[in-house]
Structure 1
């Protein structure tokens, strides 16, 4: 995962943390039951984690970037279990989580096959009836400019339902609003 300096500064800022808390998460998780054991894939700088860790009795975060995983451990290790690992191959127990979430990070997964592998892993670790929910940006010129020299492989909202269905999910809902997309899907 590569992020340019401006992108890293934005994602680590208090402004972004407040945007996540006040706008992104309320929209992305409206009417989504997290249950008592949540996995977040790709928490990055922890803006989502700091809000959501208290909404679930057990919260686990898997972060692929070693430096960010160490940072998360030092800041949020008392609120969540932090794992340095790959969200597409977590090594976590099958059917252990009531929910899996990821926010504004899928475009950093370098290829569609790796994204599909991440969807399959989310499905694998979910309990039956568990929900996979998240959000990401929608491809546009401003989105591409913000990701100059980043790993940037945006999800296409029109293709996302089929991709989630291929992973095994049902009750799939994808919505686009103001340059963002959110999804929720259920493991039968």
Structure 2
């Protein structure tokens, strides 16, 4: 994740200013971001995981318990929003679209939403038996992001993952 996925997913993304990570889970990506981002805040829906991250990253990252589809931030208050390998854990496409709209809402004009997620494969399906798995189609994601309020959106494929990047209107 640190050596390949993160640098690839964030290629060309300036991690300066207020950076928000949605859905850090256990914090693998958060630890990488903490070394490279401006002021980093993470929002995790699972209160146990959020508490663990809060303790582990105290003084380095502000960790809040919350839902990415209902972010506890004012409109236009963040420079960059990122999320990694978590979109497929959002329980429905409609909830994913709400998360995209919330990312657009909290971003400042010209802000960036970027990240990555897994592509569907047999291995991916097996890893998610008895787990939430709502795959995101990288081919339709740019249209979904534009519908959520982004001006520009694109995806790229790589190995078992895809990356995405979208910007809010200036």
Q: Bin the TM-score by the shorter chain.
A: over 0.9
Residue 99 (str. 1) matches residue 80 (str. 2): yes
- TM-score (norm: length of structure 1): 0.88
Residue 82 (str. 1) matches residue 93 (str. 2): no
Instruction: Give the conservation status (yes or no) of the 8 Å contact 1:34–1:56.
Output: yes
Match of 1:42 in 2: 23
Match of 2:9 in 1: 28
- TM-score (norm: length of structure 2): 0.97
Bigger share in helix: 1
- Runs ≥4 in structure 1, deviation > 3 angstroms? none
Count of paired positions? 169
How far did 1:134 drift? 0.7
Match of 2:133 in 1: 152
Residue 116 (str. 1) matches residue 97 (str. 2): yes
Distance 1:81 1:33 in 2: 19
How far did 1:77 drift? 2.1
**Structure 2 unmatched runs, 5+:** none
Instruction: Give the conservation status (yes or no) of the 8 Å contact 2:78–2:111.
Output: yes
Match of 1:69 in 2: 50
Instruction: Give the conservation status (yes or no) of the 8 Å contact 2:103–2:113.
Output: yes
Distance 1:50 1:78 in 2: 12
1:61-117 deviation line (CA, Å, top 9, x unaligned): 000001000000010121111000101101211101110000000000010000000
